[in-house]
Amino acid sequence: MIRAPRAVRVLPLLLLPLLLVSCGTEEAGAGADTGTGTGTGTGTEGADKGTGGSADPADPAELAARAQALGIAPELVYVTEAPGFAVAQQSVGVFGGDGFHTAYFSQKTHAQFELFVDRGTLTAENCQKTQVGQGSGESVACERDGDAWYRKAGGQHEYAVPRDGHVIRLVGDANRLDRAVLRKAAEATHHPDAAELSALLPPAPDGTAATEPVERGDLPPVGDGAPNNEVGASG
């Protein structure tokens, strides 16, 4: 089951336009304007593959350090590509326990969608029981589309792509964002390359990049590894 977001770390869609107008949009890349139409065809075989082709992959240690500094599991950090849309960097943060959240915004049309990644799965058994976006309390309609699910509830719609132990979800206003845009964004989801990581997540604070455990000089070489705190008879 997808967990509810931490309210202080996730930026609701309805607040994004006000923030972006007042503070300016920090972009992590944008493309051409989007078209309209309905999604056709099946499959999301493009998932987890960047469309840039020869882009340098992100350094795993750097990705881990930057993500963990925000409380995000590195394997749950994804980006996507949607023509005319750019990442709203103010929206980047943790979702649920250690999941990932960001939002994409179009300066021209003011359309927007959110990208959520969290642990769990989505199946025919739990699809209608799992909220769309951050939940509306209304019934959920589920439609299989290749290896993804197209879902609608309470004026929102989303594409949800189950991966190995987690689900990537792209959510938008059904009246303002075309299904085809969401579908193409779902197909384009992938782990960030080096340039995307640099633009997406802030540098990790000093001292957070270490991944090896610190050596303890007071641990005995045998036994259960408990520290030797013996100080003798006089202690």
Query: Is the C-alpha dihedral spanning 87, 93, 97, 98 positive or negative?
Result: positive
Q: Which residue has the tokens 């500094």?
A: 69
Q: Give the list of residues 6+ apart from residue 65 with CB closer than 8 angstroms, or none.
A: 204, 208, 209
The chain-wide mean pLDDT, for the chain, equals 77
pTM over the 0.85 mark: no
Q: Are residues 28 and 88 in contact, defined by beta-carbon separation less than 8 angstroms?
A: no
More confident site: 5 or 167? 167
Summarised one tens digit per residue, pLDDT across range 134-158 is: 776 789 999 999 999 999 999 999 9
Average pLDDT estimate for 45-72: 77
Choose from 11-15, 20-24, 37-41, 199-203 the range with maximum mean pLDDT. 199-203
